[in-house]
Structures are given as structure tokens and as C-alpha cells.
Amino acid sequence: MIKIENISRTYSRDGIPITALREATFNIDAGDLVVIRGVSGSGKSTLLNILGCLDSPSTGTYLLDGADVSHKSDAELSRIRSRKIGFIFQSFNLLPHTTAIENVELPMIYADREISRSCAAATLARVGLAHRERHFATELSGGEQQRVAIARALINDPALILADEPTGNLDESAGADVMGILHDLNDEGRTIVLVTHDEAVASHARRVLMIRDGVLRESEAKT
């Protein structure tokens, strides 16, 4: 599903070039569950942004479902994101004074789809929040907000889910619930790529990609 060949990402800071990612090469098969690990500043967020078509590599090639998305325009990348990729963030990124069901409906607007309240309700029910669909995000616990975020990520039926520290702001019980949902989605055949510092979360992966100083140092299979 994902084929990365020699991608690098260089930024300019005060006129000084900063290389955040250096010639990374790897593949991720459809239906895989992959964890990206690395200390703060190692380049893992840069890599995740490229995988999510939020940024483009300075050099190299990124194939997503066989299509080269390395240097698409912002408008083209936006269309790809809205149709192929679901995002889950550590801080949830919900609109606080909008109901749970309205938050879930937002990606349908970005994808130029007709808004389906019944589809949004069914997706919320899928993550165990049918009884909370009319509650504002500010009225939900952290675990409930993250489950709303998962429902939002699913609403356009993407094959690829990218999760950036999805349990980072949750207690152990809520984090376990979130990982259970991600496992269920993976069992359905969705590809899951997540960034985490948490050893317990990383232990769920079939494969771990280690990154240090912008270099992909290690790729180890999980048994």
C-alpha cells in the first residue's frame, strides 16, 4: 500500500537548511499494523506528515496505492487525504462547541460528500458512543473524545489510518479501549500506522520502525 524510496525532507530555519528526514526507504503492506518510534525531534512527525500527505518530501518517491503522490499540489493532496486517509491525534482536535455527531460529519464536507447523519450516527455507535452523539466535545471525557476522533477518521471509509500518539493524553483504561478499537479496525483489513513513545502501545504492532536523527535505523518484525 505504501512504498517509500529514498525520501528526505529539508527545511530552512533562519536561512539554515535543516534535514529532518534522510533517505528513508521502506514498504508497508495493506492490512499491516506498524509503529513508528523515536525520541522527540527524531523525525517521526515529519515522516508521519509525509505519509499523511500533509507535507511533501524534498527528494525521493512516495507511492500510495501505486500512485506517486510525492510532489502533488496542495489541492491534489487534500483530495487524497479526504478519500484515502483517516487521522487520529493525541490532542483529539475536535471542535469544542460542536456536538460529537457534528464533529464526525466534518470530513464528509471536506470530501464533497453529501452529509449523512445516519452514517455519522452508525459510526459513533461503532465506537460505543451512540448515547453521546448530542453532547458537545467539552462534555466528553478524554477517552470519549478520542473515540469521537476515531469515528471522525472512519467516516469516509479510508483504507489507511494514521495515529499520532493516540493514547498519549489518556489514562490506562481509556488507552486500552482505544487500542482495542484500532486492533478491530486492523483485523478488518485497514492499514494502521501509529507514532508512540509508549512501550506498551508499541508492543501491539506487527512491525516497528525506529527513527533517530532523521534516519530510519531499524525495522524489526514482531512475532
Q: Model confidence over 140-158: pLDDT tens digits? A: 999 999 999 999 999 999 9
CA 104 – CA 156 distance, rounded (Å): 10
Residue 187, in any domain of the structure: yes
The label of the residue with cell 492490512 reads: 31
pLDDT at residue number 111: 87
Residue 49, in any domain of the structure: yes
Residue 59, in any domain of the structure: no
pLDDT at residue number 220: 53
User: For residue 25, what is the enclosing H or E element?
Assistant: strand 16-28
pLDDT at residue number 110: 85
Residue 190 is given by DSSP the state -
Residue span of the structural domain in which 41 resides: 31-53+74-221
Give 12-62 pLDDT, tens digit per residue: 888 899 999 999 999 999 999 999 998 888 888 899 999 999 999 999 999
CA 161 – CA 142 distance, rounded (Å): 20
Q: Give whole-number Cα distances, 158 to 44, 66, 115, 162, in Å.
A: 22, 16, 16, 10
pLDDT at residue number 219: 55
Residue 10, in any domain of the structure: no
Average pLDDT of the segment spanning 193-202: 88
Mean pLDDT over each residue of the chain, to the nearest integer: 92
Whichever domain contains 155, its CATH number is 3.40.50.300
Residue 40, in any domain of the structure: yes
Residue 64, in any domain of the structure: no
Q: How many domains does the chain have?
A: 1
pLDDT greater than 60 at residue 214: yes
Global confidence as pTM = 0.92
CA 69 – CA 155 distance, rounded (Å): 23
Asked if 20 contacts 11 with a C-beta cutoff of 8 angstroms, the reply is: yes
Residue 160, in any domain of the structure: yes
CA 65 – CA 63 distance, rounded (Å): 6
Residue 216 DSSP SS3: strand
Give 120-143 pLDDT, tens digit per residue: 999 999 999 999 999 999 999 999
Residue 25, in any domain of the structure: no
